[in-house]
Structure 1
């Protein structure tokens, strides 16, 4: 994983000419949405950027690796009409800080709980994409009293679940390049993207690696979701996760990829709301 991200940083890769299938596109990152409340919370030894929208039962959205919470802009209006939506930038991502501790999913899950404590949220549902989905599963394993339901999109529970050479996929490579520009615009350390990628890639190299026995202890309702053209996660691995976590559901969204929430937000939002019991 580390190797593919670093390689993509130095390659100029463009999407193929001519008409593209929807799953081959990378629609723009949504513009930030004015929040009811936002700020930087002191939590787990760092400052975590958050934004809150709407009213109702809380739903925390967790973005993917290298990204930031702006990526959820197409989901906020739909879900905030019925719930309190909490967006957060993961440690070292977007507008959030980090410390010297190495990246790890346990640490990042602890960040979520620390933010919940700071915001006085006793329990929340989780919607996670990629690394965010992994963090959601981590919460279901280690903080099950703090989570209600977990919508885990494009997650893996073993490193072997990641597609080899995904950096050669034009859509994924375009995302990595875009994430670098967004990091420079949002981060307090705008010139350290390469170092940031190197550090988080060390986590990707050997995490996650949960055993079947560990996954079978989860009793939180989990919906395992992916696009039918995901560039990064093997379909067989997605099916394995759903088969191993007790009572988990499996949903494969048609004609979308690792970036389904951008490519077909209506379909993605319907899936979230249905899982939360709103549709």
Structure 2
């Protein structure tokens, strides 16, 4: 457990387990503790590097906006700091956006990518979810005092008084439009998309995302020879809010991270 000084940010990271490195990136207003329920399953097979993103958990905020792109550069710089030529990356929700941008911006550093409850464009979320995102500000942050995420932030954050600021900066991030479809289609690494069947993202967007990665265009063939390198998992009985702690998540992710990818003919 330590800090890495990268890009002007003191980025908190933790090592757990042994094996091929797997970077975990938490969701909005969270921290590394978000993965606690599934950490034993992951560390039984992998060396996990769990990170607190800018302004979250033990990583203090700095004088720059919250942006997927800059946080992705932080992860790329962390991998260089740790002298890791490449790693697998798993990101959830906001952390999924950071993970996706890390693969786009630092393709030489990411071997495989797992995106959990992640949209590739802002319009990929349900309208009511977009409305809730747009409403996030300091006032809402004040209303969230006393909730479990706030109690954890109070316990671990270097400056607990920054809680309303985190909500203001996150709201500003979530109101920004984005569409990464062309960059997703150009990705050359295997990607696993994981969603809940009652997620904050419609099934139509899940299918479109998978299609951009080469999936869903043809039958795989009796021997699976036409199977795409990327995969799609829709986990039953879950929502956007409980998928990250479900044992179904490592059960889907670990086989993807270890299987051999068939070389193109």
TM class by smaller structure: 0.7 to 0.9
Report the CA distance shift for 1:168/1:108 in structure 2 as closer, same or farther (over 3 A). Answer: closer
Picking from 189, 194, 207, the partner of 1:225 is 194
**Cα displacement (A) at 1:207:** 4.4
Report the CA distance shift for 1:251/1:181 in structure 2 as closer, same or farther (over 3 A). Answer: same
TM-score (norm: length of structure 1): 0.78
Q: Matched residue pairs, number?
A: 235
The reply on whether 1:204 has 2:174 as its aligned counterpart is yes
Picking from 208, 230, 234, the partner of 2:202 is 234
RMSD: 2.4
**Cα displacement (A) at 1:64:** 0.7
Unaligned stretches of 5+ residues in structure 1: 1-37
**After the TM superposition, which residues 4-83 of structure 1 pair with which residues of structure 2 at under 5 Å, given as runs?**
38-83=1-46
Report the CA distance shift for 1:176/1:58 in structure 2 as closer, same or farther (over 3 A). Answer: farther
**After the TM superposition, which residues 1-279 of structure 1 pair with which residues of structure 2 at under 5 Å, given as runs?**
38-166=1-129, 177-210=147-180, 212-230=181-199, 232-246=200-214, 247-261=229-243, 264-265=246-247, 267-277=248-258
> Take 1:155 and 1:176, find their aligned partners in 2: how far apart are those partners?
27
SS at match of 2:37: coil
Show the counterpart of 1:24: none
Greater RCO structure (CA 8 Å; 6+ sep) = 1
- Range that drifts further, 214-223 or 146-155: 214-223
> Take 1:69 and 1:271, find their aligned partners in 2: how far apart are those partners?
20
**Cα displacement (A) at 1:168:** 9.6
> Take 2:256 and 2:161, find their aligned partners in 1: how far apart are those partners?
40
**Cα displacement (A) at 1:241:** 1.0
TM-score (norm: length of structure 2): 0.82
